[in-house]
Every structure is written in structure tokens, then in C-alpha cells.
């Protein structure tokens, strides 16, 4: 036992305590994953060493082979993992093994429900890492030394996984980390060579470094104990360098869990090798679930970058556009320099062409998923649809492809689920329909019942119903799909083109002519509130409607801009009325100018309410309406 100095006891960060508690109580059904997590950390530590050693070869301290060793002691009931990676200093151990550095941790903790089943899913998304040791151990000792520091600067970290941990400074001859798990009673099954070998084969075969276990050898004659011989139990080659046909689905899935820190299998993946002018391999994954921090700016995103098999950078953001930030994976380039930096990546033209190729790969993979696994694609859309909607604005070149991946609610569904693709929409469009109709609004209930849909319902024409906050903004970037232009049914003078018969059009013109007097009277009554008054041909049941001017901001955009404190140009709606409605007939016959004025304002305000807008003068509306009600009951 080496001498321990400067011993101190420190408390875990609150979040760590909560996480530990949860982990111990909710991950009991799949305890063996602790080994995968610890091996994954050891592998990351070796990757880091290899990378730092590129500029500081001294760190390799003589250059022993980089590897991970797992051993056990049946009598002492311990499992030990040892790596010769980058290691930790005393300060490293205190911060890395006492706090959680991930952005949004506190937020994440708030999502926990106390329901163990649900929470274990959440923990899965969060990634448990080192602390998973406490699933099987009631005491964990970590002995470590940071590469490049003196042997006297080793650290011993020790904890029972409760409220606190101890650290002391020790001598450690070899750099790297040794973790000793003192198994809980009842968990000694893990102190077994076969068991450990099987777990390593199952979860960590893809780890690119050798993972060694002691071989059972008989003692030589005259010796009490056999000499330990080590044996590599994993395949120990980088997964993405192997030919696709030789890789099993399970291997792809375990590799995903390693790089993504996810517990669940991915939905899909795409593995490619590019040769020619540029040479690189890529392995890209679509996760099954959105990370809890998908919408946080500083959340991790991007791919793991390797240059000629050497790990260079985590979260290399320059290889995919922002709207594909949920994609996980690896790129391994033969063209980049080993000392490439984030700044260089941003400017390098090689990266641009890799980015557009990788983007296309992802979009192709999603197209395939949508086509072959529509149920899975539904799940994908629920999780990532909102982010995909950022695509058309960010990625002009792939606009049409992205549009094909979008999913919407529509009048042809009944529950507001976003399942209708534009290709489906066009495939069942009415004969002669050369437009894609849509309506935006705040909620599904509101748009579903909007008077704007009346004529479409009558003619059986499908309308897409868009109620995500981002939708109006999205539609400002989409002009057409498959040669058919998008038409907002609440906007401008609705022209149904070929869908209206010649007779319909003639009849409409005649009605409009006969109502010219009423139009003028309404213009006078409504005055400054409206840009225009006209006879509507989109109404069958409602008396009136407000249409948005062709160039004006829609309600959603206006509300978003106003909420963010921006000044929004004032725009007036167009008042359209339904000449066949009894209220309009009544209005037309109204002799008193005062009552005509009241009734027109009430109709105007009602139309605003039906569109989900708020009234400029709600008190005036109530006063006018009550006045009419009193007259009615008199
Ligand atoms: P994560 O790996 O997701 O960052 P962990 O809780 O698994 O979270 O580990 C926390 C940190 O502890 C790691 O990021 C790393 O800095 C450090 N660490 C864990 N295991 C090792 C190891 N074997 N060698 C060096 N550092 C390690």
C-alpha cells in the first residue's frame, strides 16, 4: 500500500447524489452495463492520450501498447479495470468524479418523475457513465495519474456512492486509471472470467483497443501461483474500418451506444467508405429518441472526428448542417491533417464538400426510413420533426428533398397527428388540382374548425393544417413541391383555379355584382379597420371571414415578432362576407345605419376571434352584442 497524503473528504454535487440514488434504484434490471460504461470511458481516455501525444510524444512514456485490462478476484469480490490512457490529476478526479459537467443537468433532473420505469428511460438518454459503477459496487476505488506528471502526483479517489468521496495524493508508477469495484453482496457473479468475457463480447467488441482478461493457466511446477497471462477478448479494430457485410446489426447498435452515450438502439444507420479525390469513411446514426437538450444552444452536437484512425475531436460541428444536429456518428478522414482545429475545419473547402455529401447521406437514410419503416418514421418525426422544419431555411440546395421528408396534419386526418407527406398529399389530390393548400394557426382545434376551410370541405379538397410555432416561418421558405405551389388558404383572394367550374365562376361574378351596394355600405361602416371588403366564395356556413393580404405578415409570425419585442408593421385584413348567410341577408336589408354599423362590427370581431386573433377593443364588442341581445329579447 502506498503512502497517502493530503487526504480530504468532499461532498458530491447535489445532482450527482440524485443521479446515484436513481441509478442504484432504477437500473437494476440491466446491471451488467456498468462494464460497458467503464470500458467506454477507458477507451475515450486512450483516445485522448493518443491525440495529445501527437504534439507531445513524451506523454507515451516509453510507448507501451495502449490497452484496457479487466481482472477480478473471487475471494476479495472485486472487479478491476485498468487503462493506460490520459489519466486524471487530483483536480481532475475531484471535478470529473464529483460533479456532472453536462449542460442542462439541473434541467434534466427536473424532468425526473420518481416513476422508476420512466426515469430509467430518461437516465438512458442522459448517459450514466462512471457512476454506473455503483449499480454493482458498494465501494469504488479509483487510482489514477495524469500522463506527463510525476509518479508522486497520483490520486486515490474512493467512495461508497452515498453523500461524499475521499481523495488523497499517492505515488503511481504507471500513467492511466485503475478502477477497483468492491462488489455488493449478491453481485459476486461478476467476479468471474466467463461472465466478464461474455459481457465484453456483447457490449464492447467494437472498441478499437485490445481489452484483455487474465487467462486461466496452471501453475508451473514448484510455483504456488501461476504467472498471469493476458488474452485479448474483443475484436479490437475500429468498427467503421471493417467491411459492411462483416458487421452484425448488434455490433452497429453497440457502437452507437458507445459514441452516443445512449441506452437505446438507433433507428437507422448508414455506413460508407468514400474513395477518390477525397478519402473518408463515415458511420452515421439516427437516434430513436431526442436528447433532452435538443433545443439548447450549447448542447453537444456534431460527429466524432478521426484522422487516419486517430481520434481528433468530439462534436465536430462542421460536417453537418444545424438542422441535422441530432445525427450521431463518426467520420474518419485520410485527407485532413492530424493537428486540424475547429477554426481550420470551418474554413477548409474539403470540409464543405464532405458536408454536402454527408448531408445527402443523412437525407437519403431518412427517405429510406420513411419509405420502408413508416411506423418508425412517425416516431422519428415526433422527436425530430420540429428540427427538420429548420431545414428548408438553412439548406437551400436540399430544399426539395427536405420538403419530401416533412410531415403535416391535414383535413384528411382526424386527430391532428403529423403524418401526411407532400407526396401522399399530391397522390390523392383532386383532378385538376395544381396547388398545395395549407392553413396555419395556433392550435389544431382552431384550424380544424376554421371558416377558411368551408369551401374545401364542400369540394373535398385536402388542406394541410400547420400549428407548430415554426410553421409560418417554414412556409415562407417553401414555394413549391414537385412543381406545385403552396397556397395559404387564409391569404389573398382565394383562386381555386381549375377546381372551380365555369358556371361556379360566372355565378360568383353575378353575385358579386349584385352585392356592390352592400360592399360599399360595409366599407363605410368598417372604415379604417379593413383594407378591403369583398364577396367571399370560400364560405358555406359562416357569415364572414378575415383574409390576410397577399404580402402581409400572418398572425403567427406577427405574434412571434411581437412577443420578442419587435415592432410589427400594421396591416389590415380583408373582410369577406358570405352573401347566402341569413345574417348577411338581414344586414343587407337593415334600414338603420346605427344597427348596420353595430352588426358589421360584430361580424368583423367574430371573424377575428374565429381566426384565433385577439380583439382590439373587446369591450366595444361586448357592448354591441349585448345591445342586440336586449333588442332581441324586448
Ligand atoms: P462522460 O464520460 O459522459 O463525460 P462520466 O461520468 O462517465 O461522464 O465520466 C466523467 C469524466 O471522468 C469523464 O469525462 C473523464 O473526464 C473522467 N474519466 C472517467 N473515466 C476515466 C478514465 N478511465 N480515465 C480518465 N478519465 C476518466
Q: pLDDT of 561-611, one tens digit each? A: 888 888 887 788 999 999 999 999 999 999 999 999 999 999 999 999 988
Across 170-198, average pLDDT:
96
Q: How much is the pLDDT for 66?
A: 95
Average model confidence (pLDDT) across the chain: 90
Q: Given a cut of 90, is residue 151 above it in pLDDT?
A: yes
Q: Is 430 contained in some domain? A: yes
Q: Given a cut of 90, is residue 123 above it in pLDDT?
A: no
Strand partners, 82: 69, 178
Closest to 184 in 3D by CA, of 129, 134, 141, 130:
134
Q: Given the CA of residue 85, which atom of ligand 1 is nearest to it?
A: 24
Q: Which of 40, 59, 129 to mutate to test the pocket of ligand 1 (most atoms within 8 A of CB)?
A: 129
In this structure, are 376 and 416 located in the same domain?
A: no
Domain boundary among 454, 473, 498: 498
Q: Is the dihedral of CA 577, 583, 589, 595 positive or negative?
A: negative
In this structure, are 132 and 268 located in the same domain?
A: no
User: How close is the Cα of 96 to the center of ligand 1, in Å?
Assistant: 6
Q: How much is the pLDDT for 559?
A: 79
What residue numbers bound the domain in which 375 lies? 240-381
Q: Is 397 contained in some domain? A: no
Q: How much is the pLDDT for 102?
A: 67
- CATH code of the domain in which 444 resides: 3.40.50.11260
Q: Given a cut of 70, is residue 396 above it in pLDDT?
A: yes
CA distance 183 to 177: 19
Q: How much is the pLDDT for 128?
A: 67
Instruction: Find out whether 274 and 286 touch, Cβ atoms under 8 Å.
Output: no
In this structure, are 53 and 200 located in the same domain?
A: yes
In this structure, are 61 and 208 located in the same domain?
A: yes
Count of the separate structural domains present in the chain: 4
Size of the chain in residues: 634
Strand pairing category for 464-466 and 409-410 = antiparallel
Q: Which of 36, 88, 96, 144 to mutate to test the pocket of ligand 1 (most atoms within 8 A of CB)?
A: 96
User: How close is the Cα of 322 to the center of ligand 1, in Å?
Assistant: 27
Q: Given a cut of 90, is residue 228 above it in pLDDT?
A: no
CA distance 588 to 525: 13
The closest residue, in CA terms, to atom 16 on ligand 1 is 96
Q: Given a cut of 80, is residue 113 above it in pLDDT?
A: no
Domain boundary among 455, 481, 498: 498
Q: Is 394 contained in some domain? A: no
Q: Is 477 contained in some domain? A: yes
User: How close is the Cα of 41 to the center of ligand 1, in Å?
Assistant: 5
In this structure, are 133 and 68 located in the same domain?
A: yes
Q: Is the dihedral of CA 61, 62, 65, 71 positive or negative?
A: negative
Domain boundary among 477, 498, 519: 498
In this structure, are 356 and 251 located in the same domain?
A: yes
In this structure, are 248 and 270 located in the same domain?
A: yes
The closest residue, in CA terms, to atom 13 on ligand 1 is 96
In this structure, are 359 and 411 located in the same domain?
A: no
The closest residue, in CA terms, to atom 9 on ligand 1 is 130
User: How close is the Cα of 29 to the center of ligand 1, in Å?
Assistant: 24
Q: Given a cut of 90, is residue 556 above it in pLDDT?
A: no
CA distance 623 to 408: 40
**Longest Cα–Cα distance in the chain:** 123
CA distance 6 to 525: 87
In this structure, are 375 and 415 located in the same domain?
A: no
User: How close is the Cα of 232 to the center of ligand 1, in Å?
Assistant: 23
∠ CA 17-19-22, nearest 5°, is 110
Q: Given a cut of 90, is residue 166 above it in pLDDT?
A: yes
Q: Given a cut of 90, is residue 219 above it in pLDDT?
A: no
Q: Given a cut of 60, is residue 124 above it in pLDDT?
A: no
Q: pLDDT higher for 562 or 172?
A: 172
Residue with cell 453482496: 185
Q: How much is the pLDDT for 314?
A: 86
- CATH code of the domain in which 288 resides: 3.30.230.80
In this structure, are 428 and 484 located in the same domain?
A: yes
The closest residue, in CA terms, to atom 18 on ligand 1 is 41
The closest residue, in CA terms, to atom 10 on ligand 1 is 96
In this structure, are 437 and 585 located in the same domain?
A: no
pTM of this structure: 0.79
Instruction: Find out whether 441 and 466 touch, Cβ atoms under 8 Å.
Output: yes
In this structure, are 119 and 232 located in the same domain?
A: yes
Q: Is 388 contained in some domain? A: no
Q: Is 290 contained in some domain? A: yes
Q: Given the CA of residue 37, which atom of ligand 1 is nearest to it?
A: 7
Q: Which of 94, 130, 261 to mutate to test the pocket of ligand 1 (most atoms within 8 A of CB)?
A: 130
Q: Given a cut of 80, is residue 127 above it in pLDDT?
A: no
Instruction: Find out whether 329 and 368 touch, Cβ atoms under 8 Å.
Output: no
Q: How much is the pLDDT for 413?
A: 83
User: How close is the Cα of 122 to the center of ligand 1, in Å?
Assistant: 20
Q: Is 570 contained in some domain? A: yes
Closest to 85 in 3D by CA, of 146, 171, 38:
146
Q: Given a cut of 70, is residue 115 above it in pLDDT?
A: no
Q: Given a cut of 90, is residue 631 above it in pLDDT?
A: no
The closest residue, in CA terms, to atom 1 on ligand 1 is 129
Q: Is 389 contained in some domain? A: no
Across 141-150, average pLDDT:
97
Q: Given a cut of 70, is residue 305 above it in pLDDT?
A: yes
Across 327-354, average pLDDT:
89
* Collapsed DSSP state (helix, strand, coil) of residue 378: helix
- CATH code of the domain in which 511 resides: 1.20.120.790
The closest residue, in CA terms, to atom 14 on ligand 1 is 96
User: How close is the Cα of 36 to the center of ligand 1, in Å?
Assistant: 13
The closest residue, in CA terms, to atom 11 on ligand 1 is 96
Across 77-96, average pLDDT:
96
| Pocket lined around ligand 1, Cβ cut-off 6 Å | 41-42, 45, 83, 85-88, 96-97, 127, 129-131, 177, 261
Lowest mean pLDDT among 142-146, 323-327, 353-357, 546-550: 546-550
CA distance 180 to 82: 9
Compute how many other C-beta atoms are within 10 angstroms of the C-beta atom of residue 116: 16
Across 302-319, average pLDDT:
89
Q: Above pLDDT 90, what percent of the chain? A: 62
Amino acid at each position: 500500500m502506498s503512502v497517502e497524503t493530503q487526504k480530504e473528504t468532499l461532498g458530491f454535487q447535489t445532482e450527482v447524489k440524485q443521479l446515484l440514488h436513481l441509478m442504484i434504484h432504477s437500473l437494476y434490471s440491466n446491471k451488467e452495463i456498468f462494464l460497458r460504461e467503464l470500458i467506454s470511458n477507458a477507451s475515450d481516455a486512450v483516445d485522448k492520450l493518443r491525440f495529445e501525444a501527437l504534439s507531445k510524444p513524451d506523454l507515451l512514456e516509453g510507448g507501451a501498447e495502449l490497452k484496457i485490462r479487466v481482472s477480478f478476484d473471487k475471494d476479495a469480490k472485486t472487479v478491476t479495470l485498468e487503462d493506460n490512457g490520459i489519466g486524471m490529476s487530483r483536480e481532475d478526479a475531484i471535478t470529473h468524479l464529483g460533479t456532472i459537467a453536462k449542460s442542462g443537468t439541473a434541467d434534466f433532473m427536473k424532468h425526473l418523475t420518481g416513476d422508476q420505469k420512466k426515469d430509467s428511460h430518461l437516465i438512458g438518454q442522459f448517459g450514466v457513465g462512471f457512476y454506473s459503477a455503483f449499480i454493482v459496487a458498494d465501494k469504488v476505488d479509483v487510482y489514477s495519474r495524469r500522463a506527463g506528471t510525476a509518479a508522486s502526483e497520483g490520486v486515490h479517489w474512493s467512495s461508497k456512492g452515498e453523500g461524499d468521496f475521499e481523495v488523497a495524493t499517492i505515488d503511481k508508477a504507471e500513467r492511466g486509471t485503475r478502477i477497483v469495484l468492491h462488489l455488493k453482496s449478491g453481485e459476486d457473479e461478476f467476479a468471474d472470467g466467463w461472465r466478464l468475457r461474455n459481457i465484453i463480447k456483447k457490449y464492447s467488441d467494437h472498441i478499437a483497443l485490445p481489452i484483455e482478461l487474465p487467462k486461466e493457466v496452471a501453475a508451473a511446477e514448484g510455483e504456488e501461483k501461476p504467472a498471469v497471462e493476458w488474452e485479448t477478448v474483443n475484436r479490437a479494430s475500429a468498427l467503421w474500418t471493417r467491411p459492411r457485410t462483416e458487421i452484425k446489426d448488434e455490433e452497429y447498435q453497440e457502437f452507437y451506444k458507445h459514441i452516443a452515450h445512449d441506452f437505446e438502439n438507433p433507428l437507422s444507420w448508414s455506413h460508407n467508405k468514400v474513395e477518390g479525390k477525397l478519402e473518408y469513411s463515415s458511420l452515421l446514426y439516427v437516434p430513436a429518441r431526442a436528447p433532452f437538450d435538443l433545443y439548447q444552444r450549447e448542447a453537444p452536437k456534431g460527429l466524432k472526428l478521426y484522422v487516419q484512425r486517430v481520434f481528433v475531436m468530439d462534436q465536430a460541428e462542421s460536417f453537418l448542417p444545424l438542422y441535422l444536429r441530432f445525427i450521431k456518428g463518426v467520420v474518419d478522414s485520410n485527407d485532413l491533417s492530424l493537428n486540424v482545429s475547429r477554426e481550420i475545419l470551418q474554413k477548409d473547402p474539403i470540409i464543405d464538400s464532405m458536408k454536402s455529401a454527408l448531408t445527402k447521406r443523412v437525407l437519403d437514410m431518412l427517405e429510406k426510413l420513411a419509405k420502408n419503416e413508416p411506423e418508425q418514421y412517425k416516431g422519428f418525426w415526433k422527436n425530430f420533426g420540429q428540427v427538420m422544419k429548420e431545414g428548408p431555411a438553412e439548406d437551400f440546395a436540399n430544399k426539395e428533398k427536405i420538403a419530401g421528408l416533412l410531415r403535416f396534419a391535414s383535413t384528411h386526418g382526424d386527430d391532428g397527428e403529423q403524418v401526411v407527406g407532400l407526396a401522399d398529399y399530391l397522390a390523392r389530390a383532386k383532378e385538376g388540382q395544381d396547388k398545395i393548400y395549407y392553413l396555419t394557426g395556433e392550435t389544431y382545434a382552431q384550424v380544424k374548425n376554421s371558416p377558411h376551410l368551408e369551401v374545401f370541405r364542400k369540394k373535398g379538397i385536402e388542406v394541410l393544417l400547420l400549428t407548430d410555432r415554426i410553421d409560418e416561418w417554414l412556409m415562407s421558405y417553401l414555394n413549391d413541391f414537385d412543381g406545385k405551389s403552396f397556397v395559404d388558404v387564409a391569404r389573398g383572394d382565394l383562386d381555386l383555379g381549375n377546381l372551380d367550374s365555369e358556371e361556379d365562376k360566372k355565378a360568383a361574378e353575378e353575385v358579386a355584382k349584385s352585392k356592390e351596394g352592400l360592399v360599399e355600405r360595409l366599407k363605410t361602416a368598417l372604415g379604417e379597420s379593413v383594407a378591403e371588403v369583398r364577396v367571399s366564395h370560400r364560405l358555406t356556413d359562416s357569415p364572414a371571414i378575415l383574409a390576410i393580404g397577399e404580402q402581409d405578415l400572418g398572425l403567427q409570425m406577427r405574434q412571434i415578432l411581437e412577443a420578442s419585442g419587435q415592432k410589427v408593421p400594421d396591416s389590415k385584413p380583408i373582410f369577406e362576407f358570405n352573401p347566402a348567410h341569413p345574417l348577411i341577408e338581414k344586414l343587407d336589408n337593415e334600414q338603420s345605419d346605427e344597427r348596420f354599423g353595430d352588426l358589421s362590427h360584430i361580424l368583423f370581431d367574430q371573424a377575428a376571434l374565429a381566426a384565433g386573433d385577439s380583439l382590439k377593443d373587446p369591450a366595444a364588442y361586448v357592448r354591441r352584442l349585448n345591445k342586440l341581445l336586449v333588442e332581441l329579447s324586448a
